Each structure stands twice: as C-alpha cells, then as structure tokens.
Amino acid sequence: MEKQELEAQVLSLRQEKVDWQTEVQKFQKEAAAWNERQTELAHQIEQVRQEEEKLKQEVERLGTWEKELKAWDEKVRQVLDQKGHSRTKLENNPTTIDMMNRHTDTWYRRRRLSRESLECVNGGSDGAVVAAFGVMVDIASFDQIDQLMTCYKKGKYWQLKFNSVTKKYEASGENMEMSIAAKFRGEFSRRKYQFHCKTLSSVYDPEQAVYLPRNTKIDGVNFRQARLVSNSKLQAAISKMDIGHIHPVPGHVGATRPLVSLVHMMVDLHLRLPGLRKELRWFNGKKNHFIIYFADDGTPETKDSSMCVATLSCWNFGSKTRSREYQYLLHIINESEKSPVVAELWGEHLFQIRMMISKAYTIAGELCTFEFRAGGDESWAATALGETSGAATYPSPWANVTKTDMFIVGGNIGVTWKPWTMEQRDADLLKLGEYKKSLPPGLSESARRNKRNEFMAANGMRQLRPPLIGEYASTFYPDCLHVELNISNHWYDLMYQEAVRRDRVKEFTDVTAAPISLSNARNEPAQGKNLGKYPSTVSHEAVGDRVRHDGSINVQSDNMYSKLEAHAKKTQGEYSSLVGLGMKAIAARVLEHDANKTTRHRKLGIRFIGENAIRTLRYGHRLVDSLATPDEDEKGKVVREVLGTMIHLLRDAASIYNKHETTEAELTEMERLLDLYYNLFCLFLPERANLTVWTVAKAIPHYARKLYDEYGVGYGVVSMQGKEAKNAKVKEYLKLTNHSKEEDRTRK
C-alpha cells in the first residue's frame, strides 16, 4: 500500500516537474520576446533622439534666419520709414552718373543699400548680380547701357579688355602675316620698317620731346592701337620660311632656282587656296593642264650695267598675269641677256622643261600636266631665237619679210610671207656652217662678219646659232605691249616731223603738254579760294583752323588769291580752253630736240612708257588738230586726215588685241582695222613706214588668230605688262640691298 502511494507520489512529482519545466520554457520564451521588444524600443528611442537633434538644428537655423529676416526687415523698414532718407528727398535727388564719376558719399551709400536689398531678395551676391543685370537690360535704353559701360571706372574694364584682345592679336599669326606684307609691300629696309612701326604705335610729343603710345579715345576710353611685329622677330620668322631651292650663280652677282621647283610651288599655291583655285581657267577642256609662260628680259640697272630677269607665269591665271604679283622670278643676274652665263642658265631651264612635259605630276592631290610657251620683247627674241637683229635684211623674227617687200597692199603672213620654222632654222644653220668653213682662214673678224651677213641676206636667212630655247622658238609670238609702245611712239614721231614741216612745233608741244581735261584747271582754284571757309565748330582745332579765325589773315588770303586769279586771266584768258595729252615731260624733250636746228629734222630720241602710249592713242586726234593752218592745201589736209584716221584705227585695234578674252567677231574687226591702217601707210606714207608698222598690221593679227584657234583666248595673254612691272619692282628692290654692281662700285 505504501509502495503504491509512494509510486503515486513519484508520478505526481514527475508530473509537477514536467509542468514546472513547461512553465519555465514558457517564461523563457516570454523573456526572449521582452528582450527583443526592449531592443526594438531602444532603437526607436535612438531614432526619436536623432530626429529631436535634427529638429533642434532646424529650429536653430530657422531662428537664425528669423533673426536675419528681422534684421533685413528692420533695414528695409528704416529705408521705407524714411529715417534720414525720405521718399520725397530721394525723388528730388535721384542717382546720376555724375555721382558715380565724382565718387560722392551719397553714391556709395545708395550702392551699398541697393546691393544689400538685391542680395536679400535674390538669395546672395550671385543672384543679386543676375537680378541687377536683368533689371538693367529690361528698363535701360541702348544709349544708357553704352554710357554706363564706358563711364565705369572700376578696373577700366573696357580698356583692359580691349588691350587684352590687342595683345592676343599682336601675338597671333595674322599679325605676323600683316607685318610681313607691310614690310615687303612698302619695300622697307630695317630702319624704315622700324620707323614705320614707331609711327603707327606711338606719337611724338613736342613738349616732352619723346614718343608716347598712340591711343584712340572713344567715348572717353583710351584704346591702345595694335603694333606690328618687331623687325628682329620678323626676320626670324622670314628666315624659317621655306621658299624652295634658291642657288647663287657662281662667279656672278645673281641667283636662280630650279624651274621644276618653281612650277610646283606656283601650281600648289593655286590649287590649295580656294580663292585662287576657283579662278583657274582650263583650255580645250583639259582640266589640270597648265600652260606655263616663260620670258626673259634685259633690265637696265644703270647706264653702265644691266641685269637679266627671267620670270614664269601661267595662262591659267587669266587676266592676273598682267599683275606683277603673278610673275614668279626664275633667275636674276647682273649680266646682259646676251651673256654666256645667261645661255648656260637657259640650257638648264630647257632641260627641266623637257623633263616636265614628259610626264604627269601629282600636286596638291591632283594629277597635273604641263605645257610651256616662250615670250618676250624683240630684243630678247633675237637672243632667245639665235637670230640677227632688226637691222638685218630680214629684220623680223615673225616671218621672212624684207625691207623691200614689207609693204604690199593685200599681203599677209602665210601667202606673201612665211613664218620661220624649226626645220628651216636647222637647215639655215647647216648652210651657214658650211659657208663659214669655206671662208679663207686669214680674214679678219669684221671681214668674216660682213661676208656672213651678205651670204645670209642673199639666201634669206636670220639664224646665227641654235635657239637658246630650242624647239620653243616656234611658240614665241610678238609681244603686244611693246608693239603698242613702239607703234604709238612711231606715230608721235610722224606727227613731230609733220609739225616741223608745217612750222607748228610750238602748237604741237603745247597740245602735248596741255591737260587732258579742263576740270582740274577750273576746279582747283575754286577749292583754293574756299580754303578759309571751314566750319568754326570743329571740336579739335588744328593750327590751320585757329589761323582761319583771324579776320585779318583771311583778308590777306583772299587778296592773294584775287591777285593770282587776275594774273591768270590776264595771261591765259578767263580759263585756258586748250586740252591735250598731259605729257609735259615729253613736250619739254621735244622742245629741247627742236632747239638744235641741225638735228630737228631727225627722229625723236624719245621712248614711250605705257602711260604715254595710252594717252597718245586716246587723245592723239588733238595733235592732228594742232597741225591745221589757215592756208593748208589739199595735200596737207589729206595727210592730216590720214594721220588722224591712223591713230583712231590703232586705238580701236589695241583695245581688242590687249584683251584676255575675245570673240571671232572682235578678231575679224581687229583684222579689218589693222589692214586699213596698213593700206593707208602703203598708199600715202610708204617712205615713213618701218618694221613696227608691219608687225602691228600683219604679225599681230596673224598670231592673234592662231592663238585664238588653238586655245580660244585673246592675244592679251602674251602681253609683257606684268613682266615689265615685275622688272620695275625688282629694280626698286635693289634699294634695300647691296648686291648690285652699282653699289659695289661705290662700296656701299
């Protein structure tokens, strides 16, 4: 019984133990849950604390902003409440530019208040600047903006800004190019260039006796003018330029360059520059086919020495070939064009020409081919073609014309006369060589020369030696520029001889020297009389303006002009009605020639330049009118009519054969004009005709037609105008160097 009770108690205790264990586990779970909850609450408390800190900071910031707003509000309120600055007072005393210029206290105070207000409204200084600019653009006129910007003194904004841009320009490549152009176009030596730069960038102050920087004052602001590059920097830049191969001529004063190199540079320049490329002209539909025109000429440097200048140009350049800028120097040497060294140079040039025409070249990415043609005046033609001079029996290099058959009415090249060909030149050289061998060895040089000339005249020859330019002798056409100069000179000489015969030399020279028109003679005195009538309201008076304010000086000026005008009316009439050619220098030389009674009947020793030829062709009819006399017979009238018709024909023909572009109709008209001119000479003045008359009347039309049929261009492409201009420029270059015979002799 007791055992059972004990077992029952044990079971009961075990059950209680299990129950207590269950309770313990339950309490453990609840404790874990409470721990998790406690941790979560701790995190929440920490977040709340952090949010509290943020709120405190925000409250502090808002409190600070509130204080600032209160302070700004107080300041604005003080302004609006008119504490010392009443609205009425402000309206009566607005802010002006004068306040800014005089730096008044009112200006500084108002500027400070405006800045503070703008910063307050727009949230700081950056916003204030944007707002101020927006307000100015919105309400200010353009004049006000200009005035404000130019009157702004702080830092001299515009002056510093412009000077900064000026310095950048002075250091730019464009300024270097402008400086190089100024030096070479002005042909300045080192000293002249430095003085030129000095006068551009500074002005002399006579009071301080110094040069001061030259400034331009615009709206009260001084702007410094840009300066050219110094000569030392310019020379350093120029020395780095690659202008191709240039070689001295050993034993001579001169230089030359390879023809191949020069042609490549010419073509490369015109193919790369768009402005030049678009003006290139192609012949017969051959694109990138360039026709190079080479010429040489003896250019007198002094009375005792001369130089030879060879140039290249290109027909594809069009009318630009008349400009010296498009004549490229091939060689310059201080020797005559007949010198052996010149022949040696042309031998090398000819070799390179033959090499260039044998193949195509790639230049600037284009496949280019070349063709060459020769040109020059008649003096160079005789040298280049290896022929005799114009004094020979066969004087012309253009056809086998002689002095006996030069003037045949209806004659023309191709029928009456035959052009020289390379085959004929070679055959003549063989005949001449055989004849020279047959001459006795004991003959003197002069006797051999006379025998040679007689043989050449008897056999219709001109060829003395092989042409310097080889097969290009057949491309040598007469130059229209020198033909025009010579024919106008010849016509003027005819007029002088006629004036001598009629005893009208004084009238002839008066017309030669008289002005072209009366406009200058009549307008210039009137301008002189009004010199004292400038407006007196000029802001910056010069010395002349101040003098004109003196009444007594004005009276003396008027009296002086009145006396001069009265003297002119007394000696010349109201105004001279004589008009002429405007060539006073030529008239003076004619009078000097005519003063010698033993030589007055001879030909004038005068050589025309381009201006003289143009004036003679345009206004030569005035010379014809000057030969008229009251008792003129019918023969004299006919001669005068013929001379007047001739100059009109020459003028009209020259206007055609000098053109770069022509038409079939114009060529036909030119042939008609020159044929009529030639026939007038043959019929009325055959004894006064010469080779120049035949050349202009027969050779020019023949070769102009040939050139037009082959290339479709006018005869002006063979003009030596650009070449002669280049020669003149080269002579001016000698002033900047000591590499010339003249200067070597004087040891400069």
Model confidence pLDDT, tens digit, residues 206-232: 888 887 877 777 666 677 778 888 888
- Report whether 146 contacts 140 (CB < 8 A): no
Chain segment 653-694, per-residue pLDDT in tens: 999 999 989 999 999 999 999 999 999 988 898 888 888 999
The predicted pLDDT at position 362 comes to: 94
pLDDT at residue 12 greater than cutoff 80: yes
Chain segment 683-704, per-residue pLDDT in tens: 898 888 888 999 999 999 999 9
Q: Where are the beta strands (DSSP E) in 479-559?
A: none
pLDDT at residue 571 greater than cutoff 60: no
Residue 243 class from Cβ within 10 Å (0-12 exposed, 13-18 middle, 19+ buried)?
exposed
The predicted pLDDT at position 65 comes to: 85
Q: What does the angle CA 210 – CA 216 – CA 222 come to, to the nearest 5 degrees? A: 90
Cα–Cα dist 162/222, whole Å: 10
DSSP character at residue 417 = B
- Report whether 531 contacts 525 (CB < 8 A): no
Q: Which amino acid is at 353?
A: I
Name the more confident of 542 and 321.
Answer: 321
DSSP character at residue 141 = -
Percent of the chain past pLDDT 70, that is, above it, reads 86
Question: Quick one: pLDDT band at residue 748, thresholds 50, 70, 90?
Answer: very low
What are phi and psi for residue 333, nearest 5 degrees? -150, 140
Question: Quick one: pLDDT band at residue 555, thresholds 50, 70, 90?
Answer: confident
The most confident of the ranges 196-205, 259-268, 734-743 is 259-268
DSSP character at residue 335 = S
- Report whether 516 contacts 622 (CB < 8 A): no
The predicted pLDDT at position 745 comes to: 43
Question: Quick one: pLDDT band at residue 19, thresholds 50, 70, 90?
Answer: confident
Percent of the chain past pLDDT 90, that is, above it, reads 29
| 291 three-class SS | strand
Long-range contacts for 494-501 (Cβ within 8 Å, ≥24 apart)? 494/643, 494/685, 494/688, 495/620, 495/623, 495/624, 495/627, 495/643, 496/590, 496/604, 497/601, 497/603, 497/688, 498/627, 498/639, 498/640, 498/643, 499/626, 499/627, 500/594, 500/600, 500/601
| 25 three-class SS | helix
Question: Quick one: pLDDT band at residue 354, thresholds 50, 70, 90?
Answer: very high
pLDDT at residue 195 greater than cutoff 60: yes
Question: Quick one: pLDDT band at residue 336, thresholds 50, 70, 90?
Answer: confident
Question: Quick one: pLDDT band at residue 368, thresholds 50, 70, 90?
Answer: very high
pLDDT at residue 730 greater than cutoff 90: no
- Report whether 369 contacts 263 (CB < 8 A): no
- Report whether 377 contacts 695 (CB < 8 A): no
Confidence (pTM): 0.68
The most confident of the ranges 94-103, 171-180, 256-265, 561-570 is 256-265
Q: Which amino acid is at 724?
A: E
Mean pLDDT computed over 378-389 = 86
For helices 2-80 and 105-122, angle between their N-to-C axes, nearest 10 degrees: 150
